Amino acid sequence: MTTHKNSWSKYLAFALLLCVVVAAGSINGQSQTAGNNRLIVYGDTVFFIGPGIPGSCSHSSQFKPGDNIGFRMTAVNPETGKRDRMTQLVVHLTYAGKTIDLPMRDRETDRQPERQFWIAKWPVPADAATGIVRYTVTARDPQGRTGEYKPFDVNESQLTIVSERTQITQPPPTPPGRG
């Protein structure tokens, strides 16, 4: 009887692990991976201020006119779990009624091999109107596989041009026994 319970719990643990792995594949944005022929594309937006300057490369979705928006992305072959440095990525930014294509460049170098992602920079125009700026990122590897990244369609987390950044604060913790 104990052996039967142990094997049942092993199957349950395996099923749970499988569910977690499948769910984890769709966490960061809406990277489309239909079949094994699609690249998995994901990344973030950050402040591009300059190397060694505090706040540079920190995550944000809110930028002011004059800020440099940094796009950092990667594209992974789902069959190998690796990226091909020859893959071409392009940010497609919709701004002022036009689509601006920003080719990305590979950030990995001999001196910084850990930077296994591509980057592009977009300086927010000084006269930029406030509001959401939509973007997607497409990728194509040398073998012809493609992939696309689209941020979640939630206005509060979209790339947004603001006149003043929102100060983020957290409420004080609830005392034990009062929540």
Q: Which amino acid is at 77?
A: N
Lowest mean pLDDT among 31-35, 64-68, 78-82, 128-132: 31-35
* Each residue's pLDDT tens digit, 82-101: 999 999 999 999 999 999 99
Buried b (16+ CB within 10 A) or exposed e, 124-156: beeebeeeebebbbbbbbeeebebbbebeeeee
CATH superfamily, domain at 28-161 = Immunoglobulins (2.60.40.10)
Domain boundaries, the chain: 28-161
7 in helix, strand or coil?
helix
Sheet with 40-47: strands ordered across: 40-47, 68-76, 118-123, 105-106
- DSSP structure string for 96-122: TTEEEEEE-EE---SS-TT--SEEEEE
Whose structure tokens read 């349950």?
A: 12
Q: How many CB atoms lie within 10 A of CB 119?
A: 20
Q: How far apart are CA 129 and CA 127, in angstroms?
A: 6
* Each residue's pLDDT tens digit, 8-62: 444 444 443 333 333 344 444 444 444 558 999 999 999 888 788 877 778 888 9
Pairing outcome for strands 62-63 and 118-123:
unpaired
